[in-house]
Amino acid sequence: MAYTPPAWPVSVKGVALDARGRVLLLKNERGEWELPGGRLEPEDAAPEATVAREISEESG
């Protein structure tokens, strides 16, 4: 079954661990810590693609 993106905005978050088991957290615009992630985009093949893109963009 092929993935069909929803017609409304959806955000996804991911948990990224380093080799020592530490979790990647980022500060948002309100100064709060949160998991990396973002809004699903039409060009993303699946939610997993969004999480991979956002982790790459946000962590460098």
Residues 6+ apart with CB under 8 A from 15: 23, 24, 35
Q: Which of 31, 52, 44, 41 is nearest to 9 (CA)?
A: 41
Could you give the CA distance from residue 44 to residue 51 in angstroms, rounded to a whole number?
A: 10
Query: Whole-number mean pLDDT of the chain?
Result: 87
Summarize pLDDT for 10-21 with one digit per residue, the tens.
Answer: 889 999 999 999
Please state the pTM of the whole predicted model. Answer: 0.72
Report domain extents, the chain: 12-59
